[in-house]
Structure 1
Amino acid sequence: MLHVAIVGAGPAGFYTAEALAKRLGTVAIDIIDRLPTPYGLIRAGVAPDHQSIKAVDRRYAAVLAGGVRFVGNVEIGDGGVSIDELTRLYDAVVLATGAPRDRPLGITGEDLPGVMGSAAFVGWYNGHPDFADLDVPLGQAGACVIGNGNVAIDVARLLAKTPGELAASDIARHARSALAASAVRDIHIIGRRGPYQASFTPKEMGELGLLERAQPRVNRADLPDSAGDAALDPGLRKVVGHLRNFAAQPRTDKPVTIDFDFLTRPVAIERHGEALRLIVEATRLDGDVAVGTGVMRSIDCGLVVGCIGYRTAEIPGVPFDTARGRFVNDNGHIAPGLYVTGWARRGPSGTIGTNRPDGGEVAEEIATEISAGRRAGGGGLDALLAARGIRPVTFAGWQAIDAAEIAAATHPAPRDKHVTRAALLAAADGGCAGGTTPL
């Protein structure tokens, strides 16, 4: 039997496991993750008020229920299991670790308190254990969100929503409380180019116009001549239509504003008393390229969130493309028996579903190139982990966590997330006898 290890329990990993099972029929697959919980960005990246998107986890649960093993709470790399050890234990190893690290802003002052990337901020409100203790300053009126994609929209929307609007979400309890007491009233979404170059999608843009206490605003001078709208692809045309509608709306008495600052380039971040000041430069377009004009201004704020992209986390022993923020690979091949899929292969682009074709391609390559050997597979991994005192969380352990979070929820919230490793492991152990693999 072929033994395959998939590193990363997010969408890319599950689509690969699903494709392998379909293509090979008989195959032993272990999905390994550093967290005690599966589903990757479905749990920790998708906005908590987008529950319909999170429903795809039912498909992934069916993969685990169908015989694929979940091996959670296991680090691959320093302090855990090395890539060399995995490739000796399994016939094929697939890296599906995504891109969980923030791309730096590259400006002076980005290391100041109150400045953070979207991976950290989104992880904070989604209850990711790495960011549960993040200090998110919400005591100032201003907040700057740098980026012109859907993540920037998510961050701005969550900052602007009322407690009632978040009641049916699975936002982490600490974030729910902090946002309810937030003083943020002036939210700026900052992009160095214009509306035609934005990466928003119509659904996310339309949601901003429905917020109870917040009004999105666009400077009419930033909008291109409407004659060019007809040449846009349908999705971007709808986005620009929303922006034109926001620009046409009179000022309301809603207490929160979301300003789209197009043609604006962040230059530096400075301390300003107890708060921050973002220095920005006006830009102009030379084709699709933003060019600085030398005209500067400042925006007072207490929070700056960079939403300009992500990078894959490096793993010792795996060649890494620093410039592109992903593993070096040739169409998914890294080395004999070692593959990569999803964002770790392509870079952070596309939607959740974009990872599915990648999984199918990797499954076909493994089926064609790898012959079943006499590798120890999951049994060998279990023995190695036991020898090192590492207690992996199984699918049964995750089910116990899931049940505990659902039981703790207050209607209409779907769950009350455990946000520390200690709480997650305690729930995995206490919910059922098979919560963690016994030593």
Structure 2
Amino acid sequence: MTDFTQLGLTEKLVTRLTEAGLTTPTPIQEQAIPYALEGRDIMGLAQTGTGKTAAFGLPMAQRMLARSRKAAPKSAQGLVLAPTRELAKQIRDNLMDYVSGAHLRVGLVVGGQSINAQAQRMMRGVHILVATPGRLLDLMDRGAVTLEATEFLVLDEADQMLDMGFIHDLRKIARALPEKRQTLLFSATMPKLMEEIAGAFLDDPVKVQVSPPGKAVDKIDQSIHFVTQPHKRELLIELLDAHREELALVFARTKHGAEKLKKSLEAAGYAAGSIHGNKSQGQRDRALKAFREGELKVLVATDVAARGIDIPDVRHVYNFDLPNVPDNYVHRIGRTARAGADGRAVAFCAPDEAGALRDIQRVMKLDIPVASGTPWPGVEPAGRKGRGKPQGGRPGESKPSNRRRRRRPQRKQKAA
């Protein structure tokens, strides 16, 4: 069995990993770390929850530790870009664990926090800077951060950065970086625009891939319920009741919808919280901390959390609303079955979400088993799990006899 020492990591780093409970490399770590230690550029394709942070963080830390260079003012020797504040903070925390006791300083600059305080902290410089693209550019425009001495660059979850419209920010950052550097790009999917990003950032990269794009974690038990929008809340509470002591993450499509659902669950007696774009960074951090520590059993979120939550104890992910972007379904359900654990992913599909479900199944190249309800027209999942329930109805309702009756179109809400 391969261990971290065999990958070329130093004894000090391996000891630190062992103390953190990491003894066996994941497939992406096993493939990427040796190339990264050689200084090669890497294009890594791996779904969320596969250990990418260690795959890029450990070799970068080891090479910096070997040189023992001081951090220059306002600069960063290594830069890690992430699409969301939650993911950036998670990466920063993991990196700090890896280099605990060493001289390396790890910084974090993200939106939702005081830019003046961040500029002040950058006066000393850091060895590794973890940042979201927008806030990094704000600090660069102020002259508070320079990338002239950056020798290591990591783009984590690069496909989501494209989905979130960061393409222009990434181009600006690329122009500010030295041509001579090592770049590691990690993505769960490979959209066409990624080729442009790879061409702008990578030099003769080696490609490592541990799972096909769009493939969900094998240990996730997936199912889908066909239910009308008004009956989703009732069904969600019914399913949550069966696992009250286990952590559940619920995804809603909009900020307003997430907050409304959170309040509804609180009224039903659940210890629930929410994170979305209308929450301050402090509120989001507190909600995640309470969820991680088990004070909250249910966390309702928009796609801001689809790739920014690494909580091993999450056993259930509910897609209360299906995502508009098919790949986001894979990232959402990747919040469970972390670190080799088992998990369940349950999706609700209303009539106007049939197209979204069809796109999701096409990306994943599989049909999600049906747990209840009758598939809406145009959706033909392969199997059924458990006893079916009437089409679009609440548990125990009889099937409507008037098939020609029109359903009132639901009002579309502004996306989060």
Q: TM-score if structure 1 supplies the norm length? A: 0.26
Structure with a larger share of its residues in strand:
1
**Which structure carries more relative contact order (alpha carbon 8 Å, separation 6+)?**
1
